[in-house]
Structure 1
Amino acid sequence: MVERLHTAQDRDIAYHLTPGAGPTVVFLGGFKSDMCGSKAVFLENWARDSGRAFLRFDYSGHGQSSEAFEDGCIGDWFEDAVAALGLIEGPVVLVGSSMGGWIALQIARAMPEKVAGLVGIATAPDFTEDGFWAGFSDAQKAELESAGRVAVPSEYGDPYIITKRLIEEGRARLVMRTPLPLPFAVRFLQGTADTSVTTQTAIRLLEHADSPDMRLTLVDGADHSFSDARCLPLIVSAINDVLAPAAGGAGG
């Protein structure tokens, strides 16, 4: 059954929390995705079978949570994630997919003491600036300024409505312009056939972040969803990798 959390920002966040051993694994979904996606459900089943505590949730404007998607921005979804972490006592391992990877990096920067490890799947740091804004034509930028929004084609169905607020607020959330210490084990997973996040982005993140134990795995032919039969077990392997030192040193 879906549970609900009312946040300090007056938003209602839908979530599933599976009890088990810590550190708790927390799945952070992508832009316009929800907690019922294949990766989130697969990992919940793995966690339940393994006796591992696990949390999946919907940001506001996503899935079963309150608010409209077009009213949201990166900062709102970061706040939602922080509120969801308030459900958990003790350390967490963050598993961020695409935008969720960027939000995981923000959480790690804001509260490193809470994070015992991080797994990024097709991590999309700063994508509002380096993806959307950088890719906009002059006409699209003018439309964004005058109308406050612009429609961007999506390979996943209906066009994305990108708002001026999403772009402008995202500039306060960038992680690739300043030092990014990650004082725990980190694993990044990236498909070479990903048309949303390039391998160059993944390598740039690897070179930019500072961790005592950080690795990037490139998977030939894997796409942005990273959710086929060979990719899903790789996520579990990466989680187990970062859990090993976490379980030894975080009292989990």
Structure 2
Amino acid sequence: MHTPSYLTTDTGRKLAYHKTVGAGPGVVFLGGFASDMEGTKALHLEGWSRAEGRAFLRFDYSGHGQSSGGFTEGCIGDWAADAQAALTQLTEGPQVLVGSSMGGWIALLLARAMPEKVAGLVGIAAAPDFTEDSMWAGFDADQRAALEAEGHVALPSDYSDAPYIITRRLIEDGRGHLVLRAPLPLQMPVRLLQGTADADVDVSVALRLLDHAEGEDIRLTLVKGADHRFSAPENLDLVTQTLASIVPATA
């Protein structure tokens, strides 16, 4: 693992990142909830970008990976602000955002807030509004009571022995960043990739996003049998093929 560089944001958070110099538009990978920039998809995209001579950026949100802060201190608004700082300060010109799971929600927030910086968007099992529509909606009465009384609740994780600690702040802040309740104009090319065997993000979420977003070049590809990780060799190849279809070839 190479030593990362660090960006200190206006909020004082230190974001770990790896940047590859190359042609534009560059590619920026936005990871998922409680994941980091050392995952299979991030490294695959970095290798592809280097081979293509294209600029690439991967980074850790605060409270994730090698960045500062504790995971349970953060929320969607914080991580979206981290991503906006990285996009603004570490890239030049419009970028193609590749957002995995929660990163898909972050990518949509960036595309809505600063469309001039987004040349294209690829969502991999994008999970917009998941704090409300998946977490809060799935809590039973005891979990909601615990969240209110104690400020957090533990949920089992399929990706770690340790549970996810879901805070009341995460849920309440998420309500201020929902993208499926108001107009969502996406005037850049948008490609959504979704596995039919995804146990974390149902196909209905991808269909709802496809129906809700406004734009002339938005496409959804369903991959039979693909799970939420979307990291099998054929899935990774599809991600880079999708990228190649919406960015001009480098010289």
Instruction: State the secondary structure of the residue aligned to 1:48.
Output: helix
1:59 alignment partner in structure 2: 61
Aligned positions of 1:89-104 closer than 5 A:
89-104=92-107
C-alpha separation in 2, matches of 1:71 and 1:229: 35
Code of the residue aligned with 1:114 in structure 2: it is: K
Instruction: State the secondary structure of the residue aligned to 2:170.
Output: helix
C-alpha separation in 2, matches of 1:242 and 1:105: 17
1:236 alignment partner in structure 2: 240
1:178 correspondence with 2:182: yes
Give the gaps of 5 or more residues in structure 1: none
Code of the residue aligned with 1:48 in structure 2: it is: R
1:19 correspondence with 2:25: no
1:149 correspondence with 2:152: yes
Code of the residue aligned with 2:194 in structure 1: it is: Q
Q: What do residues 13-49 of structure 1 show as CA deviations (whole Å, max 9, x unaligned)?
A: 0000000000010000000000000000010011011
2:170 alignment partner in structure 1: 166
Give the gaps of 5 or more residues in structure 2: none
Instruction: State the secondary structure of the residue aligned to 1:210.
Output: coil
What is the aligned-residue identity percentage? 64
1:226 alignment partner in structure 2: 230
Instruction: State the secondary structure of the residue aligned to 1:5.
Output: strand
2:116 alignment partner in structure 1: 113
CA shift for structure 1 position 242: 1.9
Instruction: State the secondary structure of the residue aligned to 2:163.
Output: strand
C-alpha separation in 2, matches of 1:135 and 1:242: 36
C-alpha separation in 2, matches of 1:223 and 1:99: 15
Normalising by structure 1, we get a TM-score of 0.96
Code of the residue aligned with 1:198 in structure 2: it is: D
**1:73 counterpart (75, 98, 106):** 75
Identify the structure with the greater strand proportion. Answer: 1
C-alpha separation in 2, matches of 1:147 and 1:155: 24
Code of the residue aligned with 1:221 in structure 2: it is: G
**1:32 counterpart (31, 34, 41):** 34
C-alpha separation in 1, matches of 2:181 and 2:69: 30
Code of the residue aligned with 2:138 in structure 1: it is: G
2:207 alignment partner in structure 1: 203
C-alpha separation in 1, matches of 2:219 and 2:245: 10
CA shift for structure 1 position 185: 0.5
1:192 alignment partner in structure 2: 196
Instruction: State the secondary structure of the residue aligned to 1:64.
Output: coil
C-alpha separation in 2, matches of 1:208 and 1:137: 28
